[in-house]
Amino acid sequence: MKRLGLILLRVLTAFDWPLLFILLMFATLGLTVMHSAVGSTDWRFAEQSRNFMIAFACMWVVALAPPRLLMKAAVPLYVIGVVLLLGVEFFGETSKGATRWLNLGITRIQPSEMLKISVPLMLAWYFQRHDGQVRVRDFFAAGALLCIPFALIVKQPDLGTALLVFGAGFCVIYFAGLSFKLLVPLITVGIIGVSTLVYYEDQLCLPDVDWVVLHDYQKHRVCTLLNPSSDPLGKGFHTIQSMIAVGSGGLYGKGYMRGTQTHLDFIPERTTDFIFAVYAEEFGFYGGVLLLILYGLLIARGLTIAARSATQFGRLLAGALTMMFFIYVFVNVGMVTGVLPVVGVPLPFMSYGGTALLTMGVACGILMSIGRYRGPKAS
């Protein structure tokens, strides 16, 4: 009986209860919206329910692991991830014009997903090893560790996942002490580039103009963002229909399961990348604000865990994973509302998908593990 009590106590103390409460609210809201979005495909609702259960189970398992165990796993996970990406490069399976999957015989995996966790894990381990004596060359070494998987994922091509991996990894480097002054030239170049693109849109978006650094479909996505009406029934269809759905929701929304854009099948990918359009049409502006507040609470809790961490490793990893959630939300909502180009980034805990949900569950488990730890043994 005493042993059972100890096991139960360990189970209960593994969770960060404020974070768990937020995640349960997301699960309830996500499944509610999914029930409306799936329409006649009820199997997707059942699968998403199963995906949530798997994600929460994995979150609990990871939450039980002490941070020192996560540190030991950092290098092997990173190496395995890069090797699998190389496997995709040489032996990967192609679907819809992208080579992102690797067939292992018993199952087919998308290795780029695990890099969302293993890259910030590796970089946090690296800076923990150099805690107190970080030099300029260490930032260059960390940049190389980040650019290797980023380049391999971009080559697949999978720009959405590459941006998430790069964003999470870059946050580790920045939180480790990278001077903001070093970023000013990059920010300046970015502003000049975007301004030039907007000003010379008509010339740069001509079919015979090669952008060199981007694939043709990526060029079309950017040009469609600047002028969706240029191809309203083709590449601009996603953006136009999602903006119509968001706008038609008004302040209060049309009501649950009463979204016409959704149920008349005008919103493409309504259960995955564009589920925010479904939500905004049915719950309106105020519902959208409440959802963003809930994401704000998630991010605030993650940053609180990062600030209270006992080690450099915990602070960097928790901060980077929390900012990864911010990037998810920022890119997806921007994409759906026509502010950013369509890049295929799901909305956390709302979009249908097992792999992405599992990744987010593991990330939350790591946050809980870091939040539980208060001693000096992680190093």
Backbone angles phi, psi at 139, to 5 degrees: -70, -35
Task: Tell me the backbone φ, ψ of residue 197, rounded to 5 degrees.
Answer: -60, -45
Structure tokens at 246: 């968001």
Strand partners, 103: 108
**Largest Cα–Cα distance in the chain?**
76
Cβ-proximal residues to 353 (8 Å cutoff; 6+ apart), any chain: 51, 272, 346
State residue 350's pLDDT score. 92
Number of neighbouring beta carbons within 10 Å of residue 224: 24
C-alpha 104/C-alpha 265 separation (Å) is: 36
**pLDDT, tens digit (0-9, with 9 covering 90-100), for 57-76:** 999 999 988 888 999 999 99
Are 61 and 365 in contact by the 8 Å Cβ rule? The answer is yes
Residue 354 Cα to chain centre, angstroms = 13
What's the CA gap between 35 and 291, in Å, rounded? 17
For the chain, list the strands marked E by DSSP: 93-95, 98-103, 108-109
* DSSP, res 227: -
Mean pLDDT throughout 224-240? 69
- Asked if residue 331 lies in contact with residue 160, where contact means CB atoms within 8 angstroms, the answer is yes
Residue 92 CB: number of other CB atoms within 10 A?
21
Q: Is 267 helix (H, G, I), strand (E, B) or coil?
A: coil
Give the best-scoring range by mean pLDDT among 58-72, 103-117, 261-275. 58-72
User: Which token pair is 53?
Assistant: 């259960």
- Note the pLDDT tens digit of each residue in 184-210: 887 888 788 778 776 667 777 777 777
**Which residues on neighbouring strands pair with residue 94, listed in sequence order?**
99
Which one is predicted more confidently, 261 or 235? 261
Residue for token digits 């038609």? 248
Tens-place pLDDT, residues 274-287? 899 999 999 999 99
Three-state secondary-structure class, residue 108: strand
Token pair 């903001």 in the structure block, residue: 180
Confidence category of residue 118, pLDDT binned at 50, 70, 90: very high
CA distance 379 to 311: 8
Domain boundaries, the chain: 25-372
